[in-house]
Amino acid sequence: MIVLKFGGTSVGSVENFRKVAKIVQATDGEKIVVLSAMSGVTNTLVRIAALLSSGDTEEALVLIKGLHDKYLAVAKDLIESDDNYFKAQVVLKRHHQVLLNMASEPFSVKNEKIIMAQGELVSTNLFQLYMEEVDGHSVLLSALDFMHIDQYGEPRTEVIQNRLTKVLANHQANTFITQGFICRNINNDIDNLNRGGSDYSASLIGAAVAASQIQIWTDIDGMHNNDPRYVDHTFSVKELSFDEAAELAYFGAKILHPQSIIPAKEKNIPVLLKNTFKPESKGTLIHNKAKTEKIRAIAAKDNITAIKIKSYRMLMAYGFLKKVFEVFEEHKTSIDMITTSEVAVSLTIDNTSRLEAIKNDLQGFGNIEVDTDLSIICIAGDLAQNKKGVTSAIFNGLKDIPIRMISYGGSNYNLSFLVKTTDKIAVLNILNESLFSELILETT
Ligand code: ADP
Ligand code: ASP
Ligand code: MG
């Protein structure tokens, strides 16, 4: 079984739906196709929910109508047979009605999640009707029948595996189509795996069915050595180890959802990143045989907050760090980076929803300083500590950039440091020059 996931741009128009169908048809054997919402749709749904939450029903209804009109136009152009076009209209009417109902009910978080799920539900329905026309039999599976998360928002992998296996056993088909992103939570209500979560769905599904490969099809030819949104002259990296890919995804390479590599890594399933618009280009293969030989890639993660706890009395005492960590554990807030000195410990978080409570709980430990609007720059590749010149190659060019924290030596394949977000683009560009200029020449 192969899992093929197509992101928002890949299903963003009639023309692109057709491209996706061709790629699916060209893939031999059994496959599960995981789709995102059409590009821009989840953003619109988030906006609709925000308008409803602030009581602006009128504006929300304008957006709801806009979405419905857009879908109708897509269905008309995409689907040829009268029969399937009729089915598409029925589906679209149903989803339109769900949003209209949401607009007439009092706003709640539960309803917000229902609203956000409509994008994937529509794109998969339309695609399945189209596939039926061009490829014969295919089966639409509802991710809500098998994708489950626990009370902490973490996937329930055993439940997913058991349910998906049962669902698949009920059908005879080569091509299954399902939604990325959406799931059910511990109360059995509709929920999601956070923005960009369709990659995570694909990886969880791949792990659940022990797929031979997980393919992530997007709008770029694989993982680039640096963030192409901020840096010119980036190039596609041919292969990555699971650890390198996981670090890059976690530290901001938007091409992959932060957690999406973990299920594939655990089951040792190769992940292939491919470009829907250039299927002939090789993309990036993430697997356990990738040899880490050089610095591979850089990524940046924004919205980082640093917390410094200064304590002359306690830092050297046994158990001090344990107590500090317990505060973060208590508030279910994960720490990204940590550095210590004799009198202070600095750490970073990206989820600030519990910041005030954390600060309160840390008060008794010493003097607390909080710094916001920071970015972590992550460099992944061969960064073995016994290698000469690695750190100087990284930091030489950055002499004019204030660096707030450095984390190195935690693993052999990662070095990260913290800068002001206003310096991020400069840092990414300087590092592209200093670390990759030879490779850029080779690839251009
Ligand atoms: P999809 O909708 O297919 O999930 P995303 O927009 O989530 O696509 O991810 C693809 C985008 O990720 C690219 O268009 C690119 O702008 C961005 N990106 C950021 N960092 C990288 C990187 N290191 N390599 C490739 N793409 C990256
Ligand atoms: N549609 C969702 C989003 O835009 C999930 C995804 O595309 O991965 O965040
Ligand atoms: Mg994405």
Task: Please check whether residue 410 lies inside any domain of the structure.
Answer: yes
Task: Retrieve residue 371's tokens.
Answer: 């710094």
Per DSSP, the three-state class of 350 is coil
Q: What is the pLDDT of residue 386?
A: 65
Q: Among 309, 291, 317, 322, which residue's Cα sits nearest to residue 370?
A: 309
How confident is the model over 199-216, as pLDDT tens digits?
999 999 999 999 999 999
Residues 60 and 146 both lie in one domain: yes
Per DSSP, the three-state class of 167 is helix
How confident is the model over 290-311, as pLDDT tens digits?
887 688 999 999 999 999 999 8
Residues 31 and 141 both lie in one domain: yes
Residues 301 and 439 both lie in one domain: yes
Per DSSP, the three-state class of 213 is strand
Residues 179 and 86 both lie in one domain: yes
Task: Please check whether residue 283 lies inside any domain of the structure.
Answer: no
Residues 184 and 59 both lie in one domain: yes
Query: Which segments of the chain have a pLDDT < 50?
Result: 444
Task: Please check whether residue 239 lies inside any domain of the structure.
Answer: no
Residues 303 and 181 both lie in one domain: no
* CATH number where 59 lies: 3.40.1160.10
Q: How far apart are CA 313 and CA 309, in angstroms?
A: 12
Task: Please check whether residue 251 lies inside any domain of the structure.
Answer: no
* CATH number where 374 lies: 3.30.2130.10
pTM (predicted TM-score): 0.94
Task: Retrieve residue 399's tokens.
Answer: 């002499």
Task: Please check whether residue 165 lies inside any domain of the structure.
Answer: yes
User: Would you list the DSSP string of 195-248?
Assistant: TTTHHHHHHHHHHHTT-SEEEEEESSSS-BSS-TTT-SS--B-SEE-HHHHHHH
Segment holding 418, helix H or strand E:
strand 414-420
Q: Give phi and psi for 273, each to the nearest 5.
A: -95, 125
Environment class of 402 (CB within 10 Å of its CB; exposed 0-12, middle 13-18, buried 19+) = exposed
Q: Are 272 and 214 in contact (CB under 8 A)?
A: yes
Q: How far apart are CA 298 and CA 300, in angstroms?
A: 7
Nearest Cα residue to atom 5 of ligand 2? 196
Residues in contact with 73: Cβ distance below 8 Å, sequence separation at least 6, in sequence order: none
Ion ligand 3, residue ranges at CB < 5 A: 7, 196
- The last residue of one of the domains, among 177, 193, 219, is 219
Q: How far apart are CA 215 and CA 274, in angstroms?
A: 7
Per DSSP, the three-state class of 122 is helix
Pocket test residue of 34, 36, 183, 218 for ligand 2, highest count of atoms within 8 A of CB: 36
Residues 302 and 201 both lie in one domain: no
Q: Break the chain down into helix, strand, coil percent, rounded to 5.
A: 45, 20, 35
Task: Please check whether residue 255 lies inside any domain of the structure.
Answer: no
Taking CB atoms and a 6 Å cutoff, what residues make up the pocket around ligand 1? Answer: 7-10, 36, 196, 218-220, 223-224, 227-229, 253-255, 297, 299
State in Å: Cα 119 to ligand 3 middle. Answer: 14
Task: Please check whether residue 46 lies inside any domain of the structure.
Answer: yes
Q: What is the pLDDT of residue 56?
A: 96
Q: Which domain holds residue 355?
A: 297-443
- Cβ of residue 181 lying under 6 Å from some atom of ligand 2: yes
- The last residue of one of the domains, among 219, 254, 274, is 219
Nearest Cα residue to atom 8 of ligand 2? 196
Q: Among 93, 118, 142, which residue's Cα sits nearest to residue 37?
A: 118
Residues 307 and 206 both lie in one domain: no
Residues 436 and 347 both lie in one domain: yes
Residues 34 and 144 both lie in one domain: yes
Task: Retrieve residue 35's tokens.
Answer: 């789709």
Q: What is the pLDDT of residue 115?
A: 98
- The last residue of one of the domains, among 195, 219, 243, is 219
Q: Among 38, 112, 33, which residue's Cα sits nearest to residue 68?
A: 38
Segment holding 407, helix H or strand E:
strand 405-408
How confident is the model over 97-141, as pLDDT tens digits?
999 999 999 999 999 999 999 999 999 999 999 999 998 889 999
Q: Are 383 and 412 in contact (CB under 8 A)?
A: yes
State the total domains in the chain.
2
How confident is the model over 157-199, as pLDDT tens digits?
999 999 999 999 999 999 999 999 999 999 999 999 999 999 9
Residues 158 and 53 both lie in one domain: yes
Task: Please check whether residue 265 lies inside any domain of the structure.
Answer: no
Q: Are 180 and 34 in contact (CB under 8 A)?
A: yes
